[in-house]
A and B are shown apart, each in its own frame.
Chain A
C-alpha cells in the first residue's frame, strides 16, 4: 500500500517537530544496519571542510593567469578541473561558461538544487529556494539588479538551467587593476557568487 493511503488509519493530528522526524528516520536506518553515523560523519565533515568555493577560485585564477589552461578549461572542463584534484561527486560532468563584455552567465537549477559540489561546495540556502529557482529563468536582469549586480541592457544574460548531468561554473571577467597579482592572490578575490553568476567582480 502506498505510504499515504490509509483510509482507516488515524494519523496523529499534531505534526511532529522536524527534529523529531529526523531522529525517527535516523533511528530506523541505524536499527536496520544501513546507517553508520560515525562513519558517514567523516564523509560529511570532508564535504563541509574540503569542498568549497576556494577550490573553484583556484580553477578560475589559473585560467586567468595561464592561457593554455583557460583554453583546456573551456574545451573540456571536467578534465581540466579533475587535473587540479577537484573532481568527484556532482562534478563528474563540468562545463565552464565564460563571461565577456557581451555575455553575462548565470546558473540555476529550477527543478531541484543541482550544483557543482567539488568546486563550489554544498549549495547555499537561497540557491535551493523557490524565489531564485522561479525567477532566474523568468527575469534574470531584474533579479540580478536586486542582488546588487547591474548588467547593462546591451549585455546578453545567459541563464543555464542545470536540468541534467552537466554542472556549470561561471568564469568571471578578471577585474581591472589585477594584472600584477599572482594566482594565489587572485584566488582570494574570486567569490562563490561570481562563479554562480549572481555577482560581477
Chain B
C-alpha cells in the first residue's frame, strides 16, 4: 500500500471497492488471524504437559531463544510468521512457523541467503512473503487513557497490510471498556521499525451477537485487548444487544 493510496482514501474507496483486482499478495488480514474462521473441526486436546513432541521442535525452540537480534523485536518476529504463505502456515506444525520466521529474518537481515539455507538443508526451504507493513502517520507516544471503564467504543476498520494486534473479527465492531490496562508499546509500530511508541490499552468487551450477529451465542462475550489508537467513539446504534 503506497503512501499516496493511504492519504487519498477516496481513491481507494471509489476505484478499488467492488473492482476485482489481481494484486500480488497485499496480505491484509493474514491467514494467522483465525478468530471465527470455520472449518477446523475438533480441538485435538490432550493433557500432556510436554511442550515438545519431537526433538526437532525443542531444537527450534532452542535456536529461537538463542537467535538474539533476530527475535529481540518480538512484533517483527511475529509478523515474519504472519507473512508465511497461507497454505504453508495452515498445513505446517506450529514450530515449523518459528523455523520459517527466524530463517526469513536471517535472510532479510543479510545473515544468510535462501540459496545457502537450501544447500545446507538439501532441499527447498520456503520462506515468508515480503514485509509490506507501513508506519502510521501518528507516531505520538501517549500514556494517559482517554476512555474509562463502562464507556462505549467502536473499533476502527483499517485492515492494514502489516502487523496489527486488532483481530479482523473486532474491526468495525462496538464494545464496552471493561478494563484500563495501562500503556504499552504499539506492536503495529514496533514491528515495522518505528521503535517504541506507547499507547494506552484496554480490555474491550464484545457480546457474541455483536461479533457474529444472529450466529452469536447468548451469554457469550469476548474480551479483546486493544490499543487506544485502534478505537474511536462509538457512533450510531448497537448492532445487536
State whether the Cβ of B7 lies closer than 8 Å to any Cβ in chain A. no
**Complex-state Cα separation, A183 to B40, whole angstroms:** 40
**Complex-state Cα separation, A113 to B93, whole angstroms:** 13
- Residues in A with CB closer than 8 Å to B212 are 138
Are B42 and A121 in contact (CB-based, < 8 A)?
A: no
**Complex-state Cα separation, A135 to B42, whole angstroms:** 9
**Complex-state Cα separation, A158 to B222, whole angstroms:** 6
Segment with Cβ contacts to B, from A25-33, A59-67, A80-88, A173-181: A25-33
In the assembled complex, how far is the CB of residue A188 from the closest CB belonging to chain B, in whole angstroms? 14
Interface size class of A (residues with CB under 8 A): 35 or more
Closest residue of chain B to A92 (Cβ to Cβ) is B184
- Residues in A with CB closer than 8 Å to B130 are 2-5
- Residues in A with CB closer than 8 Å to B26 are none
State whether the Cβ of B59 lies closer than 8 Å to any Cβ in chain A. yes
- Residues in B with CB closer than 8 Å to A32 are 111-112
State whether the Cβ of B53 lies closer than 8 Å to any Cβ in chain A. yes
Size of B's binding interface in residues, CB under 8 A: 89
State whether the Cβ of B38 lies closer than 8 Å to any Cβ in chain A. yes
- Residues in A with CB closer than 8 Å to B35 are 110-111, 133-134, 137-138, 161
Contact with B along A158-200 (1 / 0, CB 8 A): 1111111110000000000000000000000001110000100
Q: Which of B30-75 contact A (CB under 8 A)?
A: 32-38, 40-51, 53, 56, 58-63, 65-70
Closest residue of chain B to A147 (Cβ to Cβ) is B45
Are B224 and A29 in contact (CB-based, < 8 A)?
A: no
A-B contact pairs, 21 of them (CB 8 A): A6-B114, A12-B124, A16-B121, A25-B106, A28-B117, A37-B62, A48-B50, A110-B167, A110-B169, A123-B51, A125-B44, A126-B43, A134-B38, A138-B38, A139-B220, A147-B43, A160-B222, A161-B224, A164-B184, A165-B201, A198-B45
Residues of chain A touching chain B, judged by Cβ–Cβ distance below 8 Å, are 2-6, 9, 11-29, 32, 34-37, 39-41, 43-44, 47-48, 52-53, 93, 95, 110-113, 121-126, 128-135, 137-143, 146-147, 153-166, 191-193, 198
The 9 A-B pairs at the shortest CB distance, nearest first, are namely: A16-B123, A40-B66, A122-B51, A2-B130, A164-B225, A24-B120, A110-B35, A16-B121, A24-B121
